[in-house]
Copies of this chain bind each other. A is one copy, B any other.
Amino acid sequence: MAISDDSETKVEGAQAQGADAGGSADAGPGFARTDDSKTPRTERGRRTLRKLLDASATEFGEKGFHEASVSSITRRAGVALGTFYTYFDSKDALFRALVQDMSENVRTSARAAISQEMSALEIEQAALAAFLSFAREHKEVYRIIDEAEFVDPASYRAHYETIGERITQRLRAGAEAGEFRDDLGEVEAWAVMGINVFIGLRYAIWADGNDTGASDDIAAQVNRMLSEGIVKRSGPD
């Protein structure tokens, strides 16, 4: 149900800190945690953290950040109120951890759908189709990331800028392969991103009964627009 079903939630604890959008490349040895006083040491602790994470993803997805309450999250997780603060510094910190985790999951799901043998156009189509499927299955993610605009603006912006850069790279690669126009850049990348997000909103999140079409069909339709444009052409096909 929640985030951590397939893609092993990587959220570890809650490093309280806010504004940390300065993209510093501090990968280091792989475990550069700021404050691990909140990281569980035992198996029991890890299970509890997981329960809290799952419960809060659902809770935030259903109610939004402000309507969601810590007590409701702990109730849902089946633990006492105070337990929450064993693992998170605050409600905000939890939300931030969640946003970053989900942001990564979104990117991962797109990347997983892409393989190098595909043509540049096929890659765009596969990325959209994957995104649509992902959004259908994890509607909470959509809402939580959207709400980050207000709760954690830095992450929100980082999320879209990162994806924008990825798409820019794909367009460049397509140009180098001779498939795409070679004057494509950031503007076109953001346009593609906007298409994907809004198609996702309409056909994954708000899908109504009439939208019987599978993700693949819609992705194909969008792909045609992307490749041919919307202007009528006279020539044979």
B199 lies within 8 A of A187 (CB): yes
A190 lies within 8 A of B202 (CB): yes
* Distance between A229 CB and nearest chain B CB, rounded to angstroms: 4
Which chain B residues lie closer than 8 Å to A160 at the CB level?
198, 201
Task: Determine how many copies of this chain the complex contains.
Answer: 2
Q: Which of A31-39, A98-106, A173-181 lines the interface with chain B?
A: A173-181
B230 lies within 8 A of A180 (CB): yes
A214 at the interface (CB under 8 A from B): no
Residue of B164, B182, B221 near A232 (CB, 8 A) is B182
Question: A194–B189 Cα gap in the complex (Å)?
Answer: 12
A49 at the interface (CB under 8 A from B): no
Question: A186–B188 Cα gap in the complex (Å)?
Answer: 21
B187 lies within 8 A of A222 (CB): yes
A147 at the interface (CB under 8 A from B): yes
Residue of B121, B164, B178, B222 near A202 (CB, 8 A) is B164
* Distance between A231 CB and nearest chain B CB, rounded to angstroms: 5
* Distance between A195 CB and nearest chain B CB, rounded to angstroms: 4
0 or 1 for each of A53-71: is its CB under 8 Å from B? (1 = yes): 0000000000011100000
A181 lies within 8 A of B146 (CB): no
B222 lies within 8 A of A191 (CB): yes
A190 lies within 8 A of B181 (CB): no
B190 lies within 8 A of A199 (CB): yes
B146 lies within 8 A of A178 (CB): no
Which chain B residues lie closer than 8 Å to A197 at the CB level?
194, 198
* Distance between A90 CB and nearest chain B CB, rounded to angstroms: 15
- Besides A143-B149, A226-B231, 7 more A-B contacts (Cβ < 8 Å) are A121-B231, A160-B198, A181-B228, A181-B232, A187-B218, A194-B194, A229-B229
Binding site for B on A (CB under 8 A): 64-66, 121, 143, 146-147, 149-150, 157, 160, 164, 171, 174-175, 178-182, 184, 186-188, 190-191, 193-199, 201-203, 206, 218, 221-222, 225-233
13 contacting pairs across A/B (C-beta < 8 A) = A66-B66, A143-B149, A179-B232, A181-B228, A181-B231, A187-B222, A187-B225, A190-B203, A194-B195, A194-B196, A197-B198, A226-B231, A228-B229
- Nearest first, the 3 A-B pairs at minimum CB distance are A194-B198, A194-B194, A229-B229
